[in-house]
Amino acid sequence: MYRDYPDVQLFFTETEPLCSDTPCDGSSYDVCVLPAYRLAAFLENPVINRLLLPPLIAFGSAAAMPAAKAAGCTDFLCEPWEPVEFYERTRSSFKASLVSAGAVSLICSSERRLIAVRGDEPAEEIELPPSEYALFTLFSRNRGKFFNRESIALLLGCCPEGSRAADMHVSRLRARINRLLKDAGTESGDNPITTAAGRGWGI
């Protein structure tokens, strides 16, 4: 079963202060949008985990664009901008998170919906448990990097340090993705999560 693309869950701040006890670290959202002049304070906030941040969009004057892009923003809105442009750019940034998996692509929303997309249309979807959502988020937002069980335990806090719980969570996530790929009509061998000997898992 599947539905349409989920509504993009935005972390949007314009005037609210960002301090060390801010409850939101950005990782539970699909896209973060904030003014360019607040970008440095946001990224330096100790509650922010850069490895788990979703696509980041800054807005401001054109002069602020180079610094924003250098800081890692995936897009920049030059002022003045219209609501329709804001909507389209945030949706585009979310869809840029697609992970190739053979004949389909995978995307996971902050609602923990892992969706198989064929072309530009959702084909099948499943809901991930919190630990597997956290793992897929970590892997998909850090493509090309590999994480061993110790780093997963440290970064996500979902696995006791020194245990093999990470192995179990990754195995379950891969099995769940294989079932999703089968339901979407593609091969389980197209699972994007791979293992690198001595380095761990990644996409």
Give the tens place of pLDDT for each residue, 95-125: 878 899 988 999 888 888 898 988 778 888 9
* 82 and 169 part of one domain: no
* 104 and 196 part of one domain: yes
Residue after which a domain boundary falls, among 50, 67, 95? 95
* 119 and 141 part of one domain: yes
Which candidate, 97, 136, 104, places its Cα nearest to that of 121? 104
* Secondary structure in 3-state letters for 31-66: EEEEEHHHHHHHHHCCCCCHHHCCCEEEEECHHHHH
Report the run of H or E that residue 131 belongs to, with start and end: helix 130-140
Distance between CA atoms of residues 70 and 82, nearest Å: 24
The dihedrals phi and psi of 196, each to the nearest 5 degrees, come to: -115, 120
Residue 64 located in a structural domain: yes
Residue after which a domain boundary falls, among 95, 117, 146? 95
At residue 18, the pLDDT reads 42
pLDDT tens sequence across 117-160: 887 788 889 999 988 998 999 999 899 999 998 888 877 776 66
* 128 and 172 part of one domain: yes
* Residues linked to residue 104 through DSSP beta bridges, in sequence order: 101
* Residues linked to residue 58 through DSSP beta bridges, in sequence order: 34, 76
Yes or no: say if 71 and 39 are a contact pair by the CB < 8 Å rule. Answer: yes
Range of the domain at 74: 10-95
* 103 and 129 part of one domain: yes
CATH for 159 = 1.10.10.10
Q: Is the four-CA dihedral 126, 130, 136, 140 of positive or negative sign?
A: positive
Distance between CA atoms of residues 61 and 196, nearest Å: 43
Of 13 and 137, which is predicted with more confidence? 137
Residue 2 located in a structural domain: no
pTM: 0.77
Residue 5 located in a structural domain: no
Q: How many CA atoms lie within 13 A of 92 on its CB side?
A: 11
Q: How many CB atoms lie within 10 A of CB 115?
A: 23
* 26 and 90 part of one domain: yes
At residue 3, the pLDDT reads 41
At residue 21, the pLDDT reads 43
Q: How many domains does the chain have?
A: 2
Residue after which a domain boundary falls, among 68, 95, 122? 95
* 74 and 112 part of one domain: no
* 140 and 89 part of one domain: no
